[in-house]
Structure 1
Amino acid sequence: MTEPFTASDIAAAEKLMGVTYTPAERDQMLSNLEGQLLSAQARRGVVLDNATPMACRFDPRLPSFTMPHGLDDLRLSQRPLDLPDNDEDIAFAPLTALSHWVASRQITSRRLTEIYLARIEKLNPKLECYATVTADVALSEADAMDNLTRAGVSLGPLHGIPYGLKDLFDTKGITTGWGAEPFQNRVPGSDAAVTRKMRAAGAVLLGKTTLGALAYNDLWYGGWTRNPWNLNEGSSGSSAGSASATAAGLCGFSIGTETLGSITSPSQRCGTTGLRPTFGRVSRTGAMALCWSLDKVGPICRSVEDTGLVLAALNGHDAKDRGSIAAPFVFDARRSIDGMVLGYLPEAFEEGATDVDRAALVAARGLGITVKEVTLEDLPYGALMNVLYAEAAAAFEELTLTDADDTLKWQEEGAWPNTMRKARFLSAVDHVNLDRLRYRVMQAVGEMMEGVDALIGPFMTGPMLVASNFTGHPCLHLRAGFEQIATRSAASLGAGKLTTGEAEGERTFRVPQGISLWGQLFDEGPLLNLGMALEQALDVASERPGFPQ
């Protein structure tokens, strides 16, 4: 600092912080503000890479919480399908079918991998959903799985199944660019925990699926990821490529992440089925950190049961992830939903909700279970977003302080560079009290969820998108129907900017619309059972995008 502070400097700063001091109070601060700033500058001199975690850890469990299960248990439905003659039908088949065909040697993993690689070669130029295609790796891994199959060895339900991995998970020797220009040539020297878990489960890596730069939106350094149902609009983000590739049949399944909407939003846009597990269930070691207290890892699939199959392989405590929590995963796909109770917030189905949303609630009432209104305490849930902004700005502080953020393509008002710059003016005192508000929100959501197995609601209306991400509750988002609407984002640097409704004379497209289910902490099984029943009742999950296959 070259010049001393003045009372006018403090008065100007007060406007940014939303506080007011007297002239006497400002004069009193002048003598010791410099030391406060020097301490901050000294800390900035210590380089903290993205892998350095926070000392504080978020735990979604309230003091009264009891883990619902003691041991892992996965039981899948027994609905084997005959192997189709058509490659497209094979590509779009559910994981349960793909797994059965590989295990029974009706198809080899290599043949299945070749089908997906051919579809990627043909359709990825239109969708821009893969940042890197690892064809040689995929075929080598597929051959290894086929050798095990011939030897009578199975690594589990994902044995030999090709998948796409969001490009924020480290893959040794394979570019992991985080969707952002400053990191587009980044090649890690080791694998992420999720990468290792998928390999151990026998899954075959087709490539790295795109994400919006630094896990926001669908615009990345190599292009703009499209929605297969309308190539004029983005696939949403940040798990843009994972949802687009899965919806278009360019993989058996994919892995995504969510901080606040990054699994559910692209699943809503592309019509996939996304499962955001309870915070702490899946390891984030070796994954790009955006927000240490919010980041979650989960599967993106084409059916509800498939998400449970993948989560079983992802689940597990990891001492290297400070947010990891040991929690058994229990899911019996054959379990009846009789006696279950589904809650809903009436206001969430009012203004802003669609006819598809309301029809999904009607369908839920027709399942023969108890569906009842619940209430949620009126709190400023949106204020919690400043926690996200502060953590994200801390995770990528160097970009802001060195002006490397100027290299990011998306520079609009709502983009990361601007948001991270603004976050420098957030108050530390407010941040501590936001954390205390978060605890109040945990209590409020916990009280609301008492007496219900799950909650149903629209993706965006109501408080649950924000509230449940900050409490760590799991969310299942599945396709509920279709809407005929205009393009929601333009192919420009502003990709992701939504339009509302149908502009007069503008072309419309038939696109998917989903519904969300939120479940109890560390008890995703009943959530999936309800999702399977609702999926069957709605009967819209199997329709494929209509663009040229």
Structure 2
Amino acid sequence: MNIPKPLLLTGIALLIFAFGMAINEALTKSDVETAAKVLGIDFLDDDEIELALPGLERQRETLQELGQTPLNNGLSPTLIFNPVLRAEQLPASKTVSAPAAPPPLSSPLCADGGWLKWMTVARLGHLIRDRKASCREVTEAFIKRLKLKAPELHCVITLTEERALARADALDAELAAGKYRGPLHGIPYGAKDLLAAKGYPTTWGAAPYKDQTIDVDASVIEQLDDAGAILIAKLSMGALAWGDVWYGEMTRNPWDTEKGSSGSSAGSASAVAAGLVPFAIGTETLGSIVSPSTVCGTTGLRPTFGRVSRHGAMALSWSMDKIGPITRSAADAGLVLAAIANYDPRDAHAIEAGFQYEWPTTRVKAGTRLGYYKSRMERDYPFRSQDSTALEVLKELGYELVPIELPEEPNIGFMLNVEAAAAFESLTRSNKDDELTRQIANAWPNAFRTAHFVPAVAYVQASRLRRQLMEDVDKAFAEADVDAYVNPSWHSNSLFITNMTGHPSITVPNGMNEEGTPTSITFTGKLFGEQSLVNIAAAYQAATQWDDLHPEGF
């Protein structure tokens, strides 16, 4: 690969700048040689270094000025990632819609408070629509649950009780006047605390921002308001969206409160699993919906990149961040996604793509093709027994399992760290990153600093390899002739690859491990194929009942 020398010299300037040399200290030949050694640049001779020194000096001054320029976290770069390779990958319609009423009941309703906590959104929707419970009663019940149990799990950062009760009363008044907003009318929920909500702190789970207030409602919260849902809590998250440790504590897994819930949508999965909220909003950049959903036994839907607006959300990686629901059923996940999938141009990466959600059917047409990641699922790995059993269930349901193979992933994971380091450069330069709880090699402070040593050329080349990966995954779907495939949630490269390509997935519980905590399996789909994923997951859940298990003591 031939890279122009001026571009690589820019990388040297970046590295010299990253070393923190005083701006008035002249660069020397030795400085350049050291920087080149770190960057792996081995083609510069003495004359070329001398020739480059004046330009490197000027570049260093420019970089110093750039590093001191204040930039709002929400300001997106002009480099816009789009997972769409061809126009035909987009849905034919741009309309976004959801069912007007809850689905038919499969069993009688029970409004007893002891059962209320485990009701799906769909069942709660019947309870409210049929006036068996008011919006305020349901909201108060879940706020009470949060006050009682959240301290044990460390899953709540801020209760939004005043806002919630006022909203519940207004929604009850609408019902009395004959206005019904749909199945989310009066349903309480929690939001990961990287989503802004007017009048409340938005802490990003990190000590340097624990008093931060952003006086807007995130687009997702606006849309859920319109659908009738009620925000009752800002839920915990790993600091700046890594892991399950925040400035207050470690978010706990309700199945084993000595262990963490995983993350970074830590509180969202923990609260749903413990019956503290009917659903929650999480985000994923590289596993932050899949991982806590696996550990806590919830259903996590990661949408296609660009389907859901990130306006009002903390930016970690502009080209990878995705917002999606964490629920107790696949049907609920699809419903919530339909409520938050409206196009919003305030997110520069948003894609206008229709989603006409329909309640899933559990009937499978015999011979329906479904891929499975054959080479990875035949290996020896944790959860293999549960995953193998899941494949048998899918066969019994009528699916024809078709082998699919993904390409080998390129070594481009540093793209995430580079974007994250840009998003939080001011934190690094101010040394306020020292206030973050986790100060180890595998944590944000060190990752941010290290990312400053990545040349711009390398980021661009990685982006080109990412494009090739997108094309290769598209080809894999076409060759297998499937709309979706089954894969291990953790133990394959599918998680990394599809977060890089922007494909959607849904993760559902599929058993218990020897330690008594849940396991999961993941269904991954074509771009904008969330309805198909919900249908598959719902059929699987109807046949297995793993989603009906709940942790003791909650």
Shift of 1:51: 1.4
Aligned counterparts of 1:134 and 1:181: Cα–Cα separation in 2:
20
1:426 aligns with 2:454: yes
For 1:323, the aligned partner's letter is: H
Moved more, 173-182 or 347-356: 347-356
Shift of 1:384: 2.1
Shift of 1:356: 1.3
Moved more, 358-367 or 23-32: 23-32
Aligned counterparts of 1:62 and 1:353: Cα–Cα separation in 2:
35
Moved more, 86-95 or 239-248: 86-95
Q: Is the 8 A contact 1:246 1:301 kept in 2?
A: yes
For 2:533, the aligned partner's letter is: L
Shift of 1:362: 2.2
CA deviation string 1:92-118 (max 9, x = no partner): 111110001100101111111121111
CA deviation string 1:175-226 (max 9, x = no partner): 1111011110011112111111111111111110011111111111122110
1:377 aligns with 2:400: no
Q: Determine helix, strand or coil for the equivalent of 2:445.
A: helix
1:204 aligns with 2:230: yes
Aligned to 2:536: 530
Shift of 1:360: 1.6
CA deviation string 1:60-102 (max 9, x = no partner): 1003533234143534642254332531311111111000110
Q: Is the 8 A contact 2:111 2:133 kept in 1?
A: no
Matches within 5 A, 1:68-87: 68-70=91-93, 71-75=95-99, 77-79=103-105, 81-87=107-113
Q: 1:463 aligns with which of 472, 487, 493?
A: 493
Aligned to 1:36: 59
Change (3 A) 1:180 1:139: same
Change (3 A) 1:379 1:213: closer
Change (3 A) 1:376 1:293: same
Aligned to 1:478: 508
For 1:31, the aligned partner's letter is: P
Shift of 1:19: 2.6
Q: Is the 8 A contact 2:96 2:341 kept in 1?
A: no
- Structure 1 gaps of 5+ residues are 486-509
Aligned counterparts of 2:331 and 2:150: Cα–Cα separation in 1:
27
Aligned counterparts of 2:504 and 2:198: Cα–Cα separation in 1:
30
Aligned to 2:139: 113
Moved more, 412-421 or 348-357: 348-357
Q: Is the 8 A contact 2:368 2:400 kept in 1?
A: yes
Q: Determine helix, strand or coil for the equivalent of 2:334.
A: helix
Aligned to 2:421: 393
Aligned to 2:3: none
CA deviation string 1:214-273 (max 9, x = no partner): 111111112211000000111111110010000000011101111111111110111000
CA deviation string 1:488-540 (max 9, x = no partner): xxxxxxxxxxxxxxxxxxxxxx0000011101111211111011111122221
1:151 aligns with 2:180: no
Aligned counterparts of 2:445 and 2:336: Cα–Cα separation in 1:
34
CA deviation string 1:324-373 (max 9, x = no partner): 11111133334443143111222221132421122222222222111111
Q: Identity over the aligned pairs, expressed in percent?
A: 41
Tell me the TM-score normalised to structure 2 length.
Answer: 0.92
Aligned to 2:370: 342
For 1:352, the aligned partner's letter is: Y
CA deviation string 1:138-178 (max 9, x = no partner): 12111111111111111121000010011111111111111
Matches within 5 A, 1:65-214: 65-70=88-93, 71-75=95-99, 77-79=103-105, 81-214=107-240
CA deviation string 1:24-49 (max 9, x = no partner): 23333223211111111122232111
Matches within 5 A, 1:218-257: 218-257=244-283
Q: 2:43 aligns with which of 21, 24, 30?
A: 21
Moved more, 173-182 or 78-87: 78-87
Aligned to 1:514: 520
Aligned counterparts of 2:204 and 2:469: Cα–Cα separation in 1:
31
Q: Is the 8 A contact 1:347 1:462 kept in 2?
A: no
Q: 1:59 aligns with which of 66, 71, 82?
A: 82
Aligned counterparts of 2:105 and 2:476: Cα–Cα separation in 1:
36
1:329 aligns with 2:352: no
Tell me the TM-score normalised to structure 1 length.
Answer: 0.92
Matches within 5 A, 1:355-370: 355-370=385-400
Q: 1:436 aligns with which of 456, 464, 474?
A: 464
Aligned to 1:488: none
Q: Is the 8 A contact 1:330 1:524 kept in 2?
A: no
Aligned counterparts of 1:32 and 1:195: Cα–Cα separation in 2:
48
Q: Is the 8 A contact 2:290 2:507 kept in 1?
A: yes
For 1:16, the aligned partner's letter is: V
Tell me how many residue pairs correspond in the alignment.
Answer: 522
Q: Is the 8 A contact 2:96 2:342 kept in 1?
A: no
Aligned counterparts of 2:106 and 2:129: Cα–Cα separation in 1:
11
Moved more, 25-34 or 171-180: 25-34
Aligned to 2:381: 352
Aligned counterparts of 2:60 and 2:517: Cα–Cα separation in 1:
52
- Structure 2 gaps of 5+ residues are 1-22
Aligned counterparts of 2:207 and 2:43: Cα–Cα separation in 1:
42
Q: Determine helix, strand or coil for the equivalent of 2:541.
A: helix
Q: Is the 8 A contact 1:165 1:256 kept in 2?
A: yes
Q: Is the 8 A contact 1:211 1:237 kept in 2?
A: yes
Q: Is the 8 A contact 1:69 1:330 kept in 2?
A: no
Q: Determine helix, strand or coil for the equivalent of 1:429.
A: helix
Aligned counterparts of 1:415 and 1:120: Cα–Cα separation in 2:
29
